[in-house]
Structure 1
Amino acid sequence: MMWPSIALLAFVTLQRLGELVLARHNTAALLARGAREVAPEHYPTMVALHAGWIIGLWLLAPGRPVALFWFLVFMGLQALRLWVLATLKGRWTTRIIILPGAPLVRSGPYRFLRHPNYAIVVGEIAVLPLAFGLPLYAIVFSLLNALILHVRVKAENAALKSAMILK
């Protein structure tokens, strides 16, 4: 039965495309308010990694059964993703954007983790392939994601610190 895997892949693909539209809108609005982008050089690599992850899943996962446990874990991560989006509102973007004078968000999931969105993405990159029975795929993309997140979190923390937002 192919439809469960296709439906899940379509959901994730449409979600990511929608997030790119939202991120572009929020980025433009933030820049118009005087924000600045920091460390944009890693962004194309991050986009390529995520695009490759989805494209690879479209090549490998259709027709594979969807493991209920991992599907439920993935859907739990989606609920957490919505919590992050609702907390950040217009400040959510896929780029590192610093808005001078804006306080660091400390509500919602940011009460518990400094970078909850990244924690969710770490989970998604591993869990979705596991839902399709692709553990090696989960490991490879998790390692690649760890490399890009190392660069990104370091750049973001430095930018927040230099903006006197992060102490």
Structure 2
Amino acid sequence: MESLVAFSVLVALVGAERVAELVVSVRNAAWSRARGGVETGLGHYPFMVVLHTGLLVGALVEAWVRRPDVPAWLAWSMTLVVIASQALRWWCIATLGRRWNTRVIVVPGLAPVTGGPYRWLRHPNYVAVVVEGAALPLVHAAWVTALVFSVLNAFLLRVRIRVEDSALATLSGGGRVDA
């Protein structure tokens, strides 16, 4: 029971982090729109919101309903992976600054971002999402949630990255706007 409570606290903390992201995102999206930013990819956005909410809810429901035995090595190693994915996510947010948001909004005329994790990866924020989507449920052996989220997220990212790359191609500098 203690591990279920600890897992629930971890999921709640990740949920609070998501709320913090949304606050930053709304502020940054307004900044981008005020500078002529153009949003694309509206069609997949509601699915993304539902999927990411489903990750949190699904992990909790599965853990509380199944009540699996969780080896300590799995819980601790996956917790470290979740923390690392959060660090990568916030490194992306800090690197993109005012350009980061959860939508695909391109501001014409901005120079491309090539520092931070973008020096090595085209879409580092999505790496964080993929890793966290598998690791968070596995903290409490919620493998069904990890699997379902990962499969659905692969389909979503295929659409999302295509939309984002297309939007970024409209810029002469190919600036990044990963969210």
With normalisation by structure 1, the TM-score equals 0.93
Which residue of the other structure, out of 41, 45, 50, is the alignment partner of 1:39?
41
Instruction: Please list, as runs of the form range in 1=range in 2, the aligned pairs for 1:17-96 lying within 5 A after superposition.
Output: 17-62=19-64, 67-96=75-104
Could you tell me which runs of 5 or more consecutive residues in structure 1 were left unpaired when the two chains were aligned.
none
Secondary structure class of the residue paired with 2:78: helix
Further displaced range: 141-150 or 157-166: 157-166
Partner of 1:5: 7
Which residue type is aligned with residue 76 of structure 2? L
Report what 2:115 is aligned to.
107
Corresponding position of 1:143? 151
Tell me which amino acid in the other structure corresponds to 1:146. Answer: A
Q: How does 1:119-138 map to 2 (within 5 A)?
A: 119-138=127-146
Bigger Cα displacement from structure 2, 108-117 vs 34-43: 34-43
TM superposition shift of 1:82: 1.7
Q: Work out the CA distance in 2 between the residues paired with 1:7 and 1:160.
A: 38
Assess if the C-alpha contact under 8 Å between 2:59 and 2:137 holds in 1. yes
Q: Measure the CA separation in 1 of the matches of 2:173 and 2:86.
A: 28
Query: For 1:47 and 1:166, how far apart are their aligned partners in 2?
Result: 26
Paired residues in the alignment total 167
User: CA 1:27/1:78 → structure 2, altered by over 3 Å: closer, same or farther?
Assistant: same
Q: Does the Cα contact within 8 Å between 2:59 and 2:142 map onto a contact in 1?
A: no
CA distance in 2, matches of 1:93, 1:161: 18
Q: Letter of the 2:93 partner, please give it.
A: L
2-side partners of 1:61 and 1:11: how far apart? 16
RMSD (Å) for aligned C-alpha atoms: 1.6
The percentage of counterpart residues that share the same residue type is 43
Unaligned runs of 5+ in 2: none
Paired with 1:19 and 1:132, the residues of 2 have a C-alpha distance of 24
Q: What is the CA-CA distance between 1:13 and the residue it aligns to? A: 0.7
Q: 1:88 & 1:61 partners in 2: Cα distance?
A: 35
- Post-superposition shift, 1:35? 0.7
Structure 1 stretches (4+) deviating beyond 4 angstroms? 62-66
